[in-house]
Structure 1
Amino acid sequence: MDNLVLRSHLALLLAMVLWGSSFIALKLAVTDLSPMIVVFMRMAIGAIAFLTVWPWLRHGFVYQPGDWKYLLGMALFEPCLYFIFEAQALRYTSAGQAGMITAMLPLMVAIAAFFILKERSGWRQWLGFGIAVTGVIWMTLTGEDSEQAPNALLGNFLEFLAMVSAVGYTLLVKHLTRRYSAFLLTALQSFVGTLFFFPLALASPWPDQISLSTFGLLIYLGLIITLGAYGLYNYSLTHLKATVAAGYTNLLPVFTLLFSMLLLGERLVLSQWLAIGLVFVGVLLSQDRSHRIPPEVPPAVTG
């Protein structure tokens, strides 16, 4: 393995670590600030970051007539609806459980593609979907309410709705990535998200002051995650096959669970570990090697 390929693999691994840690950062931030304020500030910081690199980002951007409806729909699903559900979800469930629910996204995309795009899904995908859903329900019902998950049932359901939004985003981006770069689409998400969440943030209760630690979390979410993780992901795509990059996204729930245990002190009972294993079995069983959704589509879980 030459140095360039090795650096690309390391870039992918670091991107997954960053995305996995974003659940913990968001969880901590929404315990100190209103969720809509957190999301607005995160989006605004990301938008400012993208503005600084816009002179380089705009090269190669050629708007295609009629794409406004796809671009608008993409932004509506994510970040708008996605972060409304996810920010609220992390008020009620733990970061680890929310991260595990994201593992269902490829299955949900395949099922949606079956009904909406009339793409064929084999019996293994349907069986895997059923097993994974069973695992998520089991994980939710067997967990006890705690400081990290005061109402896991509600929180996990809201995270599931965030994944439903991510499905709509993924199906639209499947079309858009043929015309625009993933980095450019992420910049558009930050701009639209800033405008969308601004009035919601104004309507939320603002604290007298924001602590330095919370402000640091917002910088981390808006700058390191939004700009850094996508930069690393796109760098890897220039040197590695897209299918290789897509395979790394399976590490997201693993890193999220690991960080939630190390940084938040989250603990799971034995039945929940068994349920998590069931989710992974369902995801692995449903893996579709035909890759109907192009792997270069930017991950919907933008943290």
Structure 2
Amino acid sequence: MKRSFILMLIVPFLWALNFVFGKVLVGVLPPFTIAGGRFTVAGIIFGLWIIIGRKKLPRTDLPFILNLVLISLTSVVAFNGILYVGLKYTTVANGTIVNSFNPIATMLLAALILKEKVTGPQCAGAILSIIGVFIIISAGNPGSLAKFNIGDMIIFLNTFIWALFSVLGKKAMQVLSPLETIAFTTLMGLPLLWLVSAWEVHVYHVSSLPWSAVGLLVFLGIFASVLAFVWWYQGIRDFGASGAATFYNLIPLYSLIISSLYLGESVYAYHIIGGLLIIVGILVSSLSLSKVRQLDA
């Protein structure tokens, strides 16, 4: 559990970089083409792992395969492409913060689909984290929360796609390991993602790709796709879908730190207060889950 906790602190940092690099890439490439390049890199790595390890699906019944296909459609094809669409119309800060509504969506779907029990402390931890997010986005002015643009709304609706992916992944890991789950679903989703990317390249007349963009796609493929997704699924396995989602709220906090270090943006008191609430919320939620699992064991 301790190892999973540490890994779940690293995953949001990698995905915060995905927001930052994604914002840079949408100025060069169409949204789903970015996702296509990123997951092509990941697919090569996963494909080699499957071939070398001679991995095979342990089951081929229709419900199991359908669940994997739905995971591939939500995680590989839909979520990141739609995320990059949203980033075309909003800032990295707004995108990461709006995206932090994810825990609410995930807890709801986990309760409805998995019948996963949501504890009082877990709800309290999620609420504390969300309050921290609100403090950061409002900067002491609650009226600013109402100023959502189309990019914010796209990213907000996209959190429910991520929630569905997390819940479906929990079901798949009753049979597969986290690495097997993301490896097989990545390869399943790539053909459709390539088709959408080819259409975008044709429509937007993409003729060249800067080497800097290639470097960012390779980075996102290795770190934000392979490592982050495998570690995320390990977190879902250990903390549950709704418990793991609480860690997602670290993304806006990490984004503020990255902006401060690399963009020279200032950090104010409300950033610190909001960030502390996010961290406290994660601790309350994860510690309560640990106690529940110890009692069940």
Fold-level similarity (TM above 0.5)? yes
Any idea what the Cα deviations from partners look like across 1:158-208, whole Å, max 9, x if unmatched?
222221001111111111111112112222332233212222222221333
1:242 matched to 2:238: yes
Q: Is the 8 A contact 1:104 1:283 kept in 2?
A: no
Match of 1:50 in 2: 46
Amino acid at match of 1:206: H
Number of residue-to-residue matches in the alignment? 278
**Cα deviation, residue 38, structure 1:** 0.9
Partner of 1:78: 75
SS at match of 1:104: helix
Q: Aligned to 1:69, which of 66, 69, 83?
A: 66
Q: Is 1:224–2:220 an aligned residue pair?
A: no
> Deviations 1:236-274 (Å, cap 9, x if unpaired)?
88xxx9359958665444223322343345568877877
Verify the 8 A CA contact 2:35 2:77 in the aligned structure 1.
no
Cα deviation for residue 143 of structure 1 reads 11
Q: Write 1 or 2 for the structure with the bigger share of helix.
A: 2
1:203 aligned counterpart, secondary structure = helix
Per the alignment, residue 288 of structure 2 pairs with 289
Which of 35, 45, 55 is 2:31 aligned to?
Answer: 35
Q: Distance in 2 between matches of 1:177 and 1:281?
A: 28
Task: Give the stretch that moved more between structures: 121-130 or 219-228.
Answer: 121-130
Contact 1:95 1:257 in 2 (8 A): no
Residue 89, structure 1, aligned to residue 86, structure 2: yes
Could you tell me which residue of structure 2 aligns to residue 178 of structure 1? 174
CA contact (8 A) 2:74 2:162 kept: yes
* Deviation larger for 44-53 or 186-195: 186-195
1:61-99 Cα shifts (integer Å, max 9, x gaps) = 412523012111212221222123211111122223322
Change (3 A) 1:170 1:233: closer
Q: Percent identity between the aligned chains?
A: 22
Match of 1:17 in 2: 13
1:258 and 2:296 aligned: no
Residue number in structure 2 paired with 1:208: 207
| Cα distance in structure 2, aligned partners of 1:182 and 1:26 | 25
CA distance in 1, matches of 2:255, 2:282: 17
Partner of 1:300: none
Unaligned runs of 5+ in 1: 145-150, 295-303
Shift of 1:55: 2.5
State the distance in 1 between where 2:36 and 2:227 align.
19
The Cα shift of 1:216 comes to: 0.9
Please provide the CA RMSD for this pair.
4.2
Structure 2 counterpart of 1:44, one-letter code? T
Q: Which moved more, 1:215-224 or 1:10-19?
A: 10-19
Q: State the Cα distance separating 1:15 from its structure 2 match.
A: 4.5
Distance in 1 separating the partners of 2:280 and 2:6? 26
Whole-Å separation in 2 of the counterparts to 1:248 and 1:137? 16
Query: Contact between 1:43 and 1:193, CA under 8 Å: does it hold in 2?
Result: no
CA contact (8 A) 2:69 2:189 kept: no
Gaps of 5+ in 2: 142-146
2:102 corresponding residue in structure 1: 105
Question: TM-score under structure 2 normalisation?
Answer: 0.72
Secondary structure of the structure 1 residue equivalent to 2:21: helix
Does the CA contact (< 8 Å) of 1:33 and 1:206 recur in 2?
no
